[in-house]
Amino acid sequence: MSAKKALIIGAGIAGIATAIRLAVKGYQVEVFEANNYPGGKLSEFEQDGFRFDAGPSLFTMPQYVDELFTLAGKNPADFFRYQKLDVVCQYFYEDGTKLTAYVDADKFTQEITQQTGEPEAAVKKYLKNSSTIYSITNHVFLEKSLHRLSTYLNFETLRSILKFPQIDAFRNMHRANERFFKDTRMVQFYDRYATYNGSNPYAAPATLNVIPHLEQHYGAYFPEGGMYSIVTSLVKLAESLGVQFHYNSPVDEIVLEGRNAKAIKVKGEVISDDLIVSNMDVWFTYHRLLKQHSQLFPKKILSQERSSSALIFYWGIKKRFAQLDLHNIFFSADYKAEFDHIWQDKDIYHDPTIYLNISSKYKPDDAPEGCENWFTMINVPANTGQDWDSLIPTARQSILKKLSNLLGEDISQLITCESILDPRGIESGTSSYQGSLYGTSSNSRFAAFLRHANRSSKIKNLYFCGGSVHPGGGIPLCLLSAKIVSDGLPVN
């Protein structure tokens, strides 16, 4: 009996991981990617001697990458290496406070106490709470489908359900953080974690206070070769398992026979299959590839509020800054006003919080001698028709002014090359509806339960992976979406 054929739409990190898992299970797998490179948002480019990781820049929970090599019977270290960071991030406040976020919990707690005056007990209590939320939610809500009855019919799930009040779903992140800390700088510090899935801390449930645990407990890492080496190593693994990648091959249609997904159409050619996995944003999967079947659309899910997007300036800087690290945050003086502009006004605040990533700190050949490659990002609203051509230059000046003030030097005079990525480019380059980075937002109490499932309830043999479906966006959750899809399929 010949192997069943699985067709995957999109070579984002979740699509690649799904291809590996299905190949290990004995499926014949082909991946169709619209771009001429794999990785989706996790991409790279070079300009004037500088190399930039263009998308996700924070690497946590590397065990989910290692697991893919282990499943294939390989030693992960033979293919993919990374180093653990001692410092996760440097934080800069408008009042001159600088906070070093050490991975070591005791050292980090001491840093907070010294810089802000918050007692050690408050920090330890917060981290314990974050750990508790993780222990309740991880195995049930992150690693399994929320849309299968079998998920709920076991003791582990029952135990988590009984502890549901402890995940703090009935107040928002900001309100919870105010109860833990008296110092407004620490409240702002932990409010920031809402941006890890493109949400608003003044609306998102305090359950998202689980995110600091992922960073503090498991640590942050830097892959040898930069973030894009995650993609290249996994593609190499997939190809060694027989997975075929087709680049410059956008899928035009998912062909249905009744309510069965029977084939895809690529460049006019109909390619039959036994199952289809879409790594394309779920909104575009329906509106582009299934547009003739609107009666099958999950209309409520597709109409949900999207996550925030990003405006990124990739700058080649002709100087090195000793006070900066791999990850750096420059906080807005008024966080509430910044989020109100993003979520209510749908525009950009004049004093945005800036994230600055400099991979040349750990990979010196990413920049010429004496220079640094700056990935300079601010959170912005999803693209709903704003005049980005007017917003971008204004935001650029705000960013340069803020960085120059806090670093004590005119940054504009140090820029030797520049590229810009805005929500329009994110949408067109990665098929992410409205340029949202994480699919739907988590700005509602039960947002985790409202994400699209990893399997269609109306179309047989159609599955979904990636940041726009359960369990969410970001590299670890995208990799978990691949696991959920694979776990729901039999060995071939």
Which pLDDT does position 135 carry in this prediction?
A: 86
- pLDDT classification of 84: cutoffs 50, 70, 90: very high
Q: Which pLDDT belongs to residue 445?
A: 75
142-146, 237-241, 257-261, 444-448: least confidently modelled range: 142-146
Q: What percent of the chain clears pLDDT 70, i.e. is strictly above it?
A: 93
Domain with CATH 3.50.50.60 in the chain: 5-42+225-304+443-487
pLDDT in tens, 333-377: 999 999 999 999 999 999 999 999 999 999 999 999 999 999 999
Assign 3 a pLDDT band (cuts: 50, 70, 90).
Answer: confident
CA dihedral defined by 191, 197, 198, 202, rounded to 10 degrees? -30
Mean per-residue pLDDT for 34-47? 98
Q: 142 falls in which pLDDT band (50, 70, 90)? A: low
Look at the pTM and tell me if it is higher than 0.75: yes
The domain 5-42+225-304+443-487 is placed in CATH, from the list 3.30.70.100, 3.30.365.10, 3.50.50.60, 3.40.1080.10, at 3.50.50.60
pLDDT of 100 over the 70 cut: yes
Digit-coded pLDDT (tens) for 398-441:
999 999 999 999 999 999 999 999 999 999 999 999 999 999 99
The pLDDT assigned to 475 comes to 96
